[in-house]
Chains A and B, each alone.
Chain A
Amino acid sequence: MEYVFTLHWPITFEVPVVSVVLGAVVGLSYALLAVGLILIYRSTRVINLAHGEMGALAAAVVAVLVNERGWAYWTAALVALVVAGFLGALVELVIIRRLFRAPRLIVLVATMGVAQLFLFGTYFLNDTIDNRLAGFPSPFDTRLTLGSLVLQPGELTLLVTVPLIAAALAAFFRFTGFGVAVRAAAENADSARLVGIPTRRISTFVWVTAGVLSAGTALMLAPGRGLTVTESLGPDLLMRALAAAVLARLTSLPRAVAAGLAIGVIEKVVAWNYAVGEVELVLFVVVMAALLVQHRGAVRDTEASAWQLSTLVRPLPRAVQQLPAVRAISWVGLGVALAVAVAVPFGLSNSQIFLLTSVVAFAIAGLSVTVLTGYSGQISLGQVAFFGIGAAVSYQLTVELYVPFWMALLLSGVAGAAVAVLVGIPALRIRGLFLAVSTLAFALVTQKWLLGQTWMAGPGVIAPRPYWGRLDFASQHAYYNLALAGLLVAVLVCRNTLRSGVGRNLMAVRDNEAQAAAFTVPVVRTKLTAFAISGFLAAFGGAIYGHGVETFQVASFPVSDSLRVVSMTIIGGLASIPGTVIGAFVVVGIDRLVEVQYLKLLSTSVGLLVLLLYLPGGIGQLLYAGRDRIVAVLTRRAGIEVSADADAPAVPVRAEP
């Protein structure tokens, strides 16, 4: 197995057979995960971000049972599969069914919460294992050695089981009555119900199957990756699986297998020739190219509309709005918030103030999501990419080019805007779910490749604090005030945008693109404007963050933070600026304040899920309800008769029709 195929033109490129085989093997694991993702997508119309974690938890169960309790491997594996299936059913019954009519973005964020919950479980279980040296248990001990190719037991099982499972599933869906019923229910739930197909039971069945598939994959992957399975099933792996699923258009199982194989092979072969970062770049290009080709032509997707999230804020009637007292509410609110924000650091330690600075910076990133997703309806799961770009660009400008600090901040914002517009161009064709996946891929490639370039953040940089004349921002407190000023700028930018004609255009294009075009609103320009503004904000916040932490490297901007920024905005209420800021405080604050790793996961995940189930409008919903009460009092005092709909909530988050 020493054979190597070598291309000499246009570039020298070696293709060792060993790499191809290993790539195929790992590709099979991607394929299996992709199959689970596709099943859930077809049944529930959402990407299950908890897919990997379900499996990781099951793997942890096996580790505990075998290493700690001395169970036999196969018994433990069986238990783990059952547990995984059970967890899948639980998620479907408790969460997915409840959110049946909710916008798909909310369900996506719910799966994020579920992922964190499972992660908590995994950490918890792993911590009960005293014997760390044992490594993850293996089903058997044989290895296959062919020349320089060594196939581990896990890899051997993958090689054998994945094609079998794929074939079995394909046969199941084609030849059994129940399998055909599952396909029918996925295509047209109403018609399926009308012939007696039990769509709800099928949904549970699909989630159970997905859980079992994920567990199986984890068990096969884990031996090669050590005990800390969690990292190995993190965003990187999920992204590969997602890429395979998306290349299969989220519908075709055989294509998912083929796509998985392709991705695995490309990954290994490119890694042989280049560094790890380049692999991400190549995969990103491949995925984007495939998506753009798939989505040529008119997007008359029901898919896109299912991912739309209308954020309805009922404006106040004119007579009420014109009352000076009512107008004062938002200014008073802003003033109070500002006063509190400025006063708070006076009782805190330096490290706590440092934490607050991070909160402020992330709040600015959250505002970028408010503009892009809340008001323009474009889902981006990659905002922290712009965050990182902002930090890196600001470093380069201040340290390498000696640009004054305030100018560097602004120019970083502009750089973010420019990159965002580039990202936004494919977004004109790719909508909804596929856009979400693309932005996630963009976040990954930014973290793994772009930021690592020497002309960005390289191996890690130190971005110094600025000083203006005698004003020195080296102290945490002083820099916090500067960050607060930045947040104020961001809030004003947001507010101006959303209350102006531009904001109206954004909402119009989001709600009914064709109608907006018929009103002469320039659709393409409007969408790209949303990207530009949101890119500016995220990069601006990133620049502030970069100088705040002073040292940062590629790992400072993980993909999981992008997801966290989205969840922060959902917690805050997509339509609400103050809500987003509070959401930032809640999410980032808890993340950094609570020391114990898994307690923090438990609190954030449970908190997020409870919120999504019972307060879908987020904190903003509460804020608007409060505002409405105050307005009602003021209205009565002014003696104005308003035939308002008393029972209409201020922020009715529109459910899926």
Chain B
Amino acid sequence: MSALLRAEDIGVRYGGVRALDGVSIEVRDGEVLGLIGPNGAGKTTLFECIAGFNRPATGRITFAGEDITSATPEQRAARGLIRSFQDARLFESLTVFQTVLLAQEKRQPSRPLPNVFALPSTRRAERARAEAADALIDTMGLGGYRDRLVSELSTGTRRITELACVLALEPRLLLLDEPSSGIAQREVEALGALLRRIKEVTGCTMLVIEHDMPLIMGLADRIVALDSGRFLAEGSPRQIVEHPEVVRSYLGTGTETVHRSGTIRPRNGRARRARPLVARPAARQETT
């Protein structure tokens, strides 16, 4: 498989802190690449560099063969590099319908002067956008929320709205930043299925940051682990889960930190060999 996206030697500093130190990753066309690591590992920073919201001090980013290192986020999105946001905050004064309408801007941008004078061409364009938006809303099952303000919806519904917009944005590479954050356990399982479906429908490639391990294990073809701004390990989900470096970066420095050994009794009654508890990687927090 060829590389759809290549980020080489990305370095980012905040004040005295090295958020990213010469990290290189490659996303292959058609795959789902998972990005994991403890908090402060630099995952979101890397994301922001790829999406164009953060200018790295060093490094180069190539997308579909083109060097996009100096492209604006809008330009990257126009080329098919679509990102989602961690909190799916979207736009607090817009309704679901208006938000999905907005996503149509990529295919049918609004032009200022015709809009101001309410020319017939504007009305036609708006009608076309409205039809496309309504179709998407129905596809994603958001009909009941159509005229609700996005800010009043639960995180899960906002996430689905965002995914509806993602469909409209025609992604070639979809960057998902902790899609499951703020979503309850049962909904997360549905989310995994939804993401797989989106991949099928759009044929896009995905790069996903996640803390929810079951979700990412079931979704990703390959996983890259970061720690303290550096590349740590890479492999299939199974390889990563058993990788000693990865386990240690979540657990801590084995001997010094407290760990608890003991038997863990799963429901089938078979006692397993004692293992140190592996803490869930701490929740997302921006490294500013």
Binding site for B on A (CB under 8 A): 300, 310-318, 492-493, 496-497, 500-505, 507-508, 510-512, 514-523, 529, 532-533, 654
Evaluate contact between B83 and A518: CB separation under 8 angstroms: yes
Known A-B contacts A501-B125, A515-B91, A521-B102; A318 and B147 likewise in contact (beta carbons under 8 Å)? yes
Partner of A515, one of B72, B78, B85, B101: B85
Known A-B contacts A505-B105, A517-B73, A520-B78; A312 and B93 likewise in contact (beta carbons under 8 Å)? yes
Evaluate contact between B94 and A508: CB separation under 8 angstroms: yes
Docked complex Cα distance between A497 and B72 (Å): 26
B73: chain A residues at CB < 8 Å are 514, 517-518
Evaluate contact between B116 and A504: CB separation under 8 angstroms: no
Which B-chain residue is minimally distant from A532 (CB atoms)?
A: B112
Docked complex Cα distance between A316 and B148 (Å): 9
Binding site for A on B (CB under 8 A): 51-53, 72-74, 77-78, 82-85, 89-95, 97-98, 101-103, 105-106, 109-112, 115-118, 122, 125-126, 129, 146-147, 149, 165, 169, 288
- 11 interchain pairs (CB within 8 A)? A315-B147, A493-B116, A501-B105, A502-B111, A502-B115, A510-B93, A515-B85, A516-B91, A519-B103, A520-B78, A654-B92
Docked complex Cα distance between A310 and B74 (Å): 23
A523: chain B residues at CB < 8 Å are 74
Evaluate contact between A519 and B165: CB separation under 8 angstroms: yes
Evaluate contact between A504 and B94: CB separation under 8 angstroms: yes
CB distance from A298 to the nearest CB of B (A): 8
CB distance from B258 to the nearest CB of A (A): 28
CB distance from B161 to the nearest CB of A (A): 12
Evaluate contact between A500 and B126: CB separation under 8 angstroms: yes
A496: chain B residues at CB < 8 Å are 115-118
CB distance from A651 to the nearest CB of B (A): 11
Evaluate contact between B118 and A310: CB separation under 8 angstroms: no
Which A-chain residue is minimally distant from B110 (CB atoms)?
A: A501
CB distance from A384 to the nearest CB of B (A): 23
Evaluate contact between A518 and B85: CB separation under 8 angstroms: yes
Known A-B contacts A496-B117, A497-B115, A533-B116; A504 and B169 likewise in contact (beta carbons under 8 Å)? no
Which A-chain residue is minimally distant from B78 (CB atoms)?
A: A520
Partner of B91, one of A317, A502, A508, A522: A508
Which B-chain residue is minimally distant from A522 (CB atoms)?
A: B74
A512: chain B residues at CB < 8 Å are 89-92
Docked complex Cα distance between A314 and B148 (Å): 8
- Of the listed residues B52, B82, B93, the one surrounded by the most CB atoms of chain A closer than 10 A to its CB is B93
CB distance from B19 to the nearest CB of A (A): 13
Evaluate contact between A501 and B126: CB separation under 8 angstroms: yes
Evaluate contact between A501 and B129: CB separation under 8 angstroms: yes
Q: DSSP majority for the A interface?
A: helix
Evaluate contact between B110 and A500: CB separation under 8 angstroms: yes
Partner of A317, one of B82, B102, B117, B147: B147
CB distance from B109 to the nearest CB of A (A): 8
A510: chain B residues at CB < 8 Å are 93
Which A-chain residue is minimally distant from B103 (CB atoms)?
A: A519
Docked complex Cα distance between A494 and B98 (Å): 19
Known A-B contacts A501-B126, A514-B73; A520 and B149 likewise in contact (beta carbons under 8 Å)? no
Docked complex Cα distance between A532 and B78 (Å): 25
Evaluate contact between B105 and A519: CB separation under 8 angstroms: yes
CB distance from B287 to the nearest CB of A (A): 12
Known A-B contacts A493-B116, A518-B77, A520-B106; A500 and B122 likewise in contact (beta carbons under 8 Å)? yes
Evaluate contact between B102 and A505: CB separation under 8 angstroms: yes
B95: chain A residues at CB < 8 Å are 315
Evaluate contact between A300 and B288: CB separation under 8 angstroms: yes
Docked complex Cα distance between A654 and B152 (Å): 12
A533: chain B residues at CB < 8 Å are 112, 116
Partner of B74, one of A502, A503, A511, A517: A517
Which B-chain residue is minimally distant from A497 (CB atoms)?
A: B116
Q: Which 3 residue pairs of A and B lie closest in terms of their CB atoms, listed nearest first?
A: A501-B110, A500-B115, A517-B73
Known A-B contacts A318-B146, A496-B115, A522-B74; A515 and B89 likewise in contact (beta carbons under 8 Å)? yes
Evaluate contact between A520 and B116: CB separation under 8 angstroms: no
Which B-chain residue is minimally distant from A312 (CB atoms)?
A: B93
Evaluate contact between A501 and B77: CB separation under 8 angstroms: no
A300: chain B residues at CB < 8 Å are 288
Evaluate contact between B93 and A511: CB separation under 8 angstroms: yes
CB distance from B235 to the nearest CB of A (A): 30
Evaluate contact between B147 and A520: CB separation under 8 angstroms: no
CB distance from B166 to the nearest CB of A (A): 10
User: Known contacts A507-B93, A518-B77; can you find 16 more A-B pairs with CB under 8 A?
Assistant: A300-B288, A310-B92, A311-B93, A496-B118, A501-B105, A501-B109, A504-B102, A504-B110, A510-B93, A511-B94, A517-B53, A518-B83, A519-B103, A519-B169, A520-B77, A521-B102
A511: chain B residues at CB < 8 Å are 91-94
A654: chain B residues at CB < 8 Å are 92
B90: chain A residues at CB < 8 Å are 512, 515
Docked complex Cα distance between A467 and B126 (Å): 40
CB distance from A647 to the nearest CB of B (A): 12
Evaluate contact between A508 and B102: CB separation under 8 angstroms: yes
CB distance from B190 to the nearest CB of A (A): 24
Which B-chain residue is minimally distant from A652 (CB atoms)?
A: B149
Evaluate contact between B82 and A518: CB separation under 8 angstroms: yes
CB distance from B89 to the nearest CB of A (A): 6
CB distance from B153 to the nearest CB of A (A): 12
B126: chain A residues at CB < 8 Å are 500-501
B84: chain A residues at CB < 8 Å are 518
CB distance from B45 to the nearest CB of A (A): 13
Docked complex Cα distance between A181 and B106 (Å): 51
Docked complex Cα distance between A318 and B145 (Å): 11
B165: chain A residues at CB < 8 Å are 519
CB distance from A299 to the nearest CB of B (A): 12
Evaluate contact between A502 and B116: CB separation under 8 angstroms: yes
Which B-chain residue is minimally distant from A311 (CB atoms)?
A: B93
Which A-chain residue is minimally distant from B144 (CB atoms)?
A: A643
Evaluate contact between A316 and B93: CB separation under 8 angstroms: no
Evaluate contact between A520 and B53: CB separation under 8 angstroms: no
Which B-chain residue is minimally distant from A642 (CB atoms)?
A: B147
Evaluate contact between A505 and B93: CB separation under 8 angstroms: no
Docked complex Cα distance between A314 and B84 (Å): 25
B106: chain A residues at CB < 8 Å are 519-520
Evaluate contact between B105 and A521: CB separation under 8 angstroms: yes
Which A-chain residue is minimally distant from B104 (CB atoms)?
A: A501
- Of the listed residues B82, B105, B117, B129, the one surrounded by the most CB atoms of chain A closer than 10 A to its CB is B105
Docked complex Cα distance between A289 and B90 (Å): 34
- Of the listed residues A318, A504, A516, A518, the one surrounded by the most CB atoms of chain B closer than 10 A to its CB is A518
CB distance from B221 to the nearest CB of A (A): 24
Docked complex Cα distance between A310 and B53 (Å): 24
Evaluate contact between A518 and B51: CB separation under 8 angstroms: yes
Evaluate contact between B147 and A316: CB separation under 8 angstroms: yes
Evaluate contact between A507 and B94: CB separation under 8 angstroms: yes
Which B-chain residue is minimally distant from A315 (CB atoms)?
A: B95
CB distance from A308 to the nearest CB of B (A): 10
Docked complex Cα distance between A322 and B52 (Å): 41
A518: chain B residues at CB < 8 Å are 51, 73, 77, 82-85
